[in-house]
Amino acid sequence: MFQGLDYIYSPCSDVAAEQYHFEEVLGARIVFAIEGMGARVALLELADGPPQLVLADHLEGDRPVLVYRVADLEAAIAELQSRGWQKGSRLEIPQGPICSFSTPGGHRLAIYQLTRPEVISQFAGRRDF
């Protein structure tokens, strides 16, 4: 069902400062750094291939969200619910629909369906901050 861990969404109170540290000290590649609608978001690569790190100042909580891609979001939700899973919030990210949830121990995860694969390349290279 899970096709891969594509993103780690990390809550971040100062995206610009963290982005600087990841880039200058740790050698991360900044894919984009966007400011809009009252939020700052930066997508970083620390290694070749996934997962990519998303620093987001609008993401609540202290724990990161592990974001897994699935082929069919509705089918994945149905399968997980048949096992007793409790779904969380449904929303949209630029790449497609997503459903986030927490485990009983407080780990935060999400599953999403990649319906707009071109989005990341459209934002690539953008540096608003």
Instruction: Locate the domains of the chain by residue range.
Output: 2-123
CATH 3.10.180.10 fits 2-123, yes or no: yes
pLDDT tens, position by position, 72-96: 999 999 999 999 999 899 999 999 9
Instruction: State the pLDDT confidence band at 108, using cuts at 50, 70 and 90.
Output: very high
Does residue 111 contact residue 99 with C-beta atoms inside 8 Å? yes
The alpha carbon of 60 is separated from its chain's Cα centroid by a whole number of angstroms, namely 13
- Which residues are registered as beta bridge partners of 9? 54, 65
Identity of residue 56: A
Identity of residue 126: R
- pTM here is 0.94
